[in-house]
Amino acid sequence: MIQHWLVPVVREAGLEGADQLNIGSDTDLVAVWDTVAMRTGLSAEHLTELVAAHYRLEVADLDSADAHASRLIPGVVARKLNVVPL
């Protein structure tokens, strides 16, 4: 089985319970996020920070989103790809 991209990220971080995760790459992102948070004991916010650090990114500040950015990506596409235009 090809693992979801989040599984190796949390395994690399050495989180307790991460080595027992077995989540397929075709699993819905929201379900994966919730499962990983629950099994590792992390809050969604801490998981967000861990993933951002792994990829050397800052956590997005949704309050600073540009109002015009949402016009660049149609809502249907944003929901399908689980993205938020900032």
Q: pLDDT, tens digit, for every residue of 57-67?
A: 999 998 888 88
pLDDT at 1 over 80: no
pLDDT at 78 over 80: yes
- Tell me the per-residue pLDDT of 30-46, one tens digit each, with 9 for 90 and over: 899 999 999 999 998 99
Mean pLDDT in residue range 13-20: 91
For residues 10 and 25, give the distance between their C-alpha atoms in angstroms, rounded to a whole number.
15
For residues 69 and 19, give the distance between their C-alpha atoms in angstroms, rounded to a whole number.
38
Which residue's structure tokens are 């790459």?
25
Please name the residues in contact with 8: beta carbons below 8 A apart, sequence gap of 6 or more.
none
